Amino acid sequence: MNFSEVGLLALAVYVGILLCVGEIANRSRRNLSPGDHFLGGRELGVFVLFLTLYATAYSGNSLLGYPGKAYRVGFSFIMATGFMMAIIVVFHILVPRLRPAAIQRGYVTPGDFVRDRFGGQPGGRALVLAVAVLMALALANFLLAQLKAMGEVASLVTGDLIPYSWGVVGLAAMILFYETRGGMRAVAWTDAAQGILMAVGLITLLGWLLSGSGGMEAVTLEVARVRPEAVAVPDAMGCANWLSTILLLGLASVIYPQAIQRIYAARTGRALSQSFAWMTFMPLLTTLVVTLIGIAAIPRLDLAAGAATDGVMPVLLREWAQQGTLGQAAAILVFIGALSAIMSTADSCLLSLGSLLVRDLLGQTGETAAQTRMGKLLAAAVLIAIIPLALERDLTLWRLIELKMELLIQCVPAFLMGIHWVRQSAFATLAGLLVGTAFAVGLTLMGTPQWGGVHVGVIGLGLNIAVVVALSIGERQGIPGDTPLEELA
């Protein structure tokens, strides 16, 4: 059997296992309520919670987009390790206060918090809707990136036995099936297995690359010879971009709807803090590894610029597989690990999207089975609508990540400030969100994604916060009994 046929067989076995897990999870459910379907009955313990957080955070973007970006820009993309770690740092601002509220008030979606915090104020309902729209767009974008990545991996590793478009459509259908059947339980259980596969596969691949190239120093010197700009120290604008990227991804990723829902889904607060204590090391084992893989590919591969560079990882896998039976088996392991990472993120996005559409956009709170069914249907409709976009292959995964984050980061004041600052009003938060979003989207549409290396989304967030603070203080002046800004815990 050649690599393509082995890859196809492995893919079939893997998909079969996923479908079985979905069915087992379906039989394990307690009821049809949104809390049970979308949050797994809030029963995730440390081990499964850690692995589902890990598999969800590291996605097609990490496995294909990050090596592609590292291949394009070189060593300065080491910043990726920093921003992935920043997410777990920024969670300190949100989690200790959000978690007790989620349990005591029964939140299912991020919008439940916004409704609880701001819903009773003028502009509160509009704010809930605005946050839901931004989050739904970000999730749809994220889902789109995963579908593209699934198609790429399936096509490249099976040597086009499964063409790109079939990969997108077929794997999307698989996800829809097991996610709809098993909900969060199916997603979390498959994530756990997928997380282990991904970590083992990546570290093995890096080991092969470095051993075959004479070690890290030899790789660095070869990269410096082939492409000197890839080892150059970033200039002032590059450093500003480094900081801006850490802020953009560190802040925006914290309010990923699927991440927030895992905060709600943990069995206990202690399980959550222990999972985060482990999660903080994962950028070193994953992001750093994929970055070094992308850099090590610079002297080995000569890929065209643009979206083609997202194929760095699959092309390396094919090269590895040609080294003999052992290489072929290891490459298949990494291939399944990569596909696992992509599918685990896609299923989490789809699950979050369903709950977010039905509760936050349509405003259906409560715990009815009809609500769960509606969420599943809406998620399926969005998935089907996105597939034609995923068949367009020209946009790089990294650019999709940036676009999503520039929208999502505008929700930061509603969550990270709103949970601490008593005086923050719904109207001010809505005004800030609209100003920040208009600024970021406007400049992006005009072809200016950055100013002096700083993302327009980050500048938009600065404007957003300024508006929130100014209007909240102005609005509340003269009201007796107000308390000042609470300290950040």
Q: Which of 51, 56, 112, 467 binds other proteins (CB under 8 A)?
A: 112
Strand partners, 455: 450
Helix (H, G, I), strand (E, B) or coil at 243: helix
* 470 lines the binding site for other proteins (CB under 8 A): no
281 counts as binding other proteins under rule CB under 8 A: yes
Touching other proteins, residues 17-36 (CB under 8 A):
29-33
Residue recorded with tokens 């080294």? 323
Report if residue 424 touches other proteins, rule: CB under 8 A: yes
| Identified binder of other proteins from the candidate list 280, 300, 391, 438, rule CB under 8 A | 280
Q: Quick one: which segment of 17-25, 106-114, 400-408, 461-469 binds other proteins (CB under 8 A)?
A: 106-114
Q: How far is the CB of 70 from other proteins (least distance, A)?
A: 11
Which position has the token pair 């030899």? 218
Q: Say how far apart CA 448 and CA 254 lie, in whole Å.
A: 25
Scanning residues 346 to 375, which ones bind other proteins (CB under 8 A)?
365-370
* For other proteins, the closer CB: 326 or 369: 369
CB of 402 to other proteins, least distance (A): 19
Closest separation between CB of residue 27 and other proteins, Å?
9
* Amino acid at site 160: D
Tokens matching residue 134: 């931004």
Site for other proteins in 71-90 (CB under 8 A): 75, 78-79, 81-82, 85-86, 88-89
Decide: is 322 part of the binding site for other proteins (CB under 8 A): no
Contact 426, 123 (CB under 8 A): yes
**Smallest separation, CB 219 to other proteins (Å):** 8
Residue 455 has φ and ψ, to the nearest 5°, of -65, 140
Total residues contacting other proteins by CB under 8 A comes to 87
Nearer to other proteins (CB atom), residue 27 or residue 325: 27
DSSP string, 48-62: HHHHHHHHHHS-HII
Rounded CA separation 39/105 (Å): 14
Nearer to other proteins, 241 or 344 (CB): 241
CB 9 to other proteins: min, Å: 35
By the rule CB under 8 A, 3 interacts with other proteins: no
Q: Are 154 and 164 a contacting pair, CB within 8 Å?
A: yes
Say how many C-beta atoms besides its own lie within 10 A of residue 450's C-beta: 19
480 counts as binding other proteins under rule CB under 8 A: yes
From residue 472, give the alpha-carbon distance in Å to each of 112, 408, 418. Answer: 22, 22, 11
**Does 226 help bind other proteins (rule: CB under 8 A)?**
no
Residues 231-260 touching other proteins, rule: CB under 8 A, are 231-236, 238-239, 242-243, 246
Contact segment (CB under 8 A) with other proteins among 337-345, 400-408, 418-426, 463-471 equals: 418-426
Q: What is the dihedral of CA 34, 147, 166, 382, to 10 degrees?
A: 50
> Closest Cα partner for 33 from 139, 174, 179, 184?
184
CB 180 within 8 A of CB 376: yes
State the Cα–Cα distance between residues 414 and 169, nearest whole angstrom: 36
Nearer to other proteins, 399 or 476 (CB): 476
